[in-house]
Amino acid sequence: MGLVRPPAVAGTFYPALPGELAAEIGRLLERAGAGAGPPPKALIAPHAGYVYSGPVAASVYSRLRPVRHSISRVVLMGPSHRVAFRGIATSSAEWFETPLGRIPVDHRADGLLAAIPDVGSLDAAHAQEHSLEVHLPFLQMALDRFSLIPLVAGDASADLVAAVLEALWGGDETLIVISSDLSHYLDYGAARTVDERTRQAIETFDGQAIGGDQACGRVPILGLLQQARRRGLTVNTVDLRNSGDTAGPRDRVVGYGAWAFVSDSGTDSQWHSDGPALLSLARQAIVWQVAGRGPPPVPETLPPALQRPGAAFVTLHRNGALRGCIGSLAAHRPLAADVAENAVRAALNDPRFPPLTAAELDGLEVSVSVLTPPEPIAWRDEADLLAKLRPRHDGLIIEDGPRRALFLPAVWEQLPDPREFLAHLKQKAGLSQAPLPAGCRAFVFHAVELK
């Protein structure tokens, strides 16, 4: 069977009897309700005893119901409370056990982490650590079958956490869970003030505003904020309370918060179902305009994701050659309307090409890239900017006064070298090939490409 990491805090932090444990979590999830909004790609939840933090944890775990069948891997990271060490500790165990059963450890991740310094197996860090264990029964109740990548953060940097999460991020099958309580042992009013500052910092991705006394899982939270910001996720505060609100006295309380990180542009599975409708809308808009029939009628029913504000680029190819590309950088109208308008502009108003004719409709290839909101990059010099770019993933905008240019992530296919990528973007913006001036601003974004 292999090495098993047995439960260390069953009977103290949560019930040790399987039936009692399942019933308690079931009640907590039922009271939390389904929640609003799409299911999270990543979440932050507390790790105290269930009588104190269980309702707060349940508020975000209940949002996993729509994806309980599709999540098959959980990356779980929490801070070390008992063992001092440098870096991030993995486990050699084959299974993590709770009263509800055993969870297999995904050791395929070991290869993905092998090249990252200060990451390695340290079973002592896991043996008595509760920051991971208290989440496992919630995950067992909220999801179907899944494998676990358990990670304990010791003396580590936010950059190291971000690098680990980058390597393990995966797709829709992977859930990221960061374990952290908030302020410790303040009186009720002071705790609420401090925890409110933490809430604001997380919601604005301002990791520098979170001090060491505001969250025991501060470093894992900062690493998640780095990755979530780079990937264009948005964050919602699901719950924010303390032990004075749940089951304890108010003279010395511990703060608890729950946050859900979701994709602004929709998940891959969402676009797998909604993407064809968007492509059809773009093509129909072009056909009607080229034929002189005006805007096409708006469908009576559209998927919800197409009705929400969104920004997209529409790209046209014919016989393998570019035939037009125009889009929006910011969401300012329903996504369906944005795509329809940009499809027509790409066909008729791209200054690089003559207007598309009816004879060219045959063989016309239409693709749509749905964009996440652009996020500014802080960079010291051009070398630093290049080092922060992720080829084949990041779209890039550079802006120097009135000069501005954008490359979609798809451009990496033609320009895979970051230096060449940036050089061509400078040329597109009308800038010289000298190093970017200090006043130049840079933004990254991501895109879901539909073809």
Measured between alpha carbons, how far is residue 261 from residues 194, 209, 327, 350 in Å? 22, 19, 26, 36
Mean pLDDT for 11-24 is 98
326/343 same-domain check: yes
Mean pLDDT for 206-234 is 93
In a domain? residue 319? yes
pLDDT by residue (tens digit) across 207-217? Answer: 999 999 999 99
Cα separation, 355 vs 105, in Å, equals 57
Say if residue 409's pLDDT is above 90: no
Q: Which of 214, 233, 263 is the last residue of a domain?
A: 263
Cα separation, 118 vs 89, in Å, equals 8
In a domain? residue 369? no
Say if residue 264's pLDDT is above 70: no
194/87 same-domain check: yes
Per-residue pLDDT band for 152 (boundaries 50, 70, 90) equals very high
Per-residue pLDDT band for 1 (boundaries 50, 70, 90) equals low
Running DSSP on this structure, what letter comes out for residue 87? Answer: S
In a domain? residue 120? yes
Mean pLDDT for 210-232 is 93
Say if residue 338's pLDDT is above 80: yes
11/129 same-domain check: yes
Per-residue pLDDT band for 447 (boundaries 50, 70, 90) equals confident
Per-residue pLDDT band for 231 (boundaries 50, 70, 90) equals confident
208/251 same-domain check: yes
Structure confidence at residue 445 (pLDDT): 82
Running DSSP on this structure, what letter comes out for residue 360? Answer: G
234/275 same-domain check: no
Structure confidence at residue 35 (pLDDT): 72
CA angle 103–104–108, rounded 5-degree value:
145
In a domain? residue 365? no
- Work out whether strand 73-79 and strand 395-400 pair parallel, antiparallel, or are unpaired: unpaired
Q: Give the residue among 303, 22, 58, 72 at the shortest CA–CA distance from 172.
A: 72
237/273 same-domain check: no
Cα dihedral 15/17/22/24 (nearest 10)? -40
Say if residue 319's pLDDT is above 70: yes
Q: Which of 225, 248, 263 is the last residue of a domain?
A: 263
Mean pLDDT for 98-103 is 98
Structure confidence at residue 108 (pLDDT): 84
**CATH number of domain containing 298:** 3.30.700.20
220/336 same-domain check: no
Q: What percent of the chain has pLDDT over 70?
A: 97
Interhelix angle 158-168/218-230, rounded to 10 degrees, is 50
Structure confidence at residue 271 (pLDDT): 62
Tokens of 201: 């910092």
Per-residue pLDDT band for 173 (boundaries 50, 70, 90) equals confident
Is residue 239 within 8 A of residue 181, CB to CB? The reply is no
Q: Give the residue among 391, 381, 371 at the shortest CA–CA distance from 166.
A: 391
Mean pLDDT for 172-185 is 95
Mean pLDDT for 69-86 is 95
In a domain? residue 364? no
Cα dihedral 190/191/192/197 (nearest 10)? 100
69/186 same-domain check: yes
Say if residue 31's pLDDT is above 90: yes
Mean pLDDT for 90-105 is 97
145/219 same-domain check: yes
Q: Which of 236, 263, 290 is the last residue of a domain?
A: 263
Range name among 27-41, 314-328, 348-362 with the lowest pLDDT average: 27-41
257/278 same-domain check: no
Structure confidence at residue 36 (pLDDT): 66
Cα separation, 180 vs 76, in Å, equals 11
407/315 same-domain check: no
Structure confidence at residue 162 (pLDDT): 95
Amino acid found at 299: P
48/188 same-domain check: yes
Q: Give the list of residues 6+ apart from residue 70 with CB closer than 8 angstroms, or none.
A: 172, 173, 269
Structure confidence at residue 301 (pLDDT): 77
**CATH number of domain containing 406:** 3.30.1490.150
In a domain? residue 346? yes
Is residue 449 within 8 A of residue 409, CB to CB? The reply is yes
Half-sphere exposure of residue 188, counting CA atoms within 13 Å on the CB side? 10
Report the mean per-residue pLDDT for the chain. Answer: 91
Structure confidence at residue 297 (pLDDT): 76
Structure confidence at residue 272 (pLDDT): 59
In a domain? residue 367? no
Which residue's structure tokens are 């922060």? 388
Radius of gyration of the chain (CA): 24
| Domain hosting residue 415, numbered range | 375-450
Is residue 71 within 8 A of residue 103, CB to CB? The reply is no
The dihedral through the CA atoms of 109, 110, 113, 119 has a sign that is positive
Number of domains in the chain: 3
The helix/strand count (H/E) of the chain reads as 15, 20
Structure confidence at residue 171 (pLDDT): 79
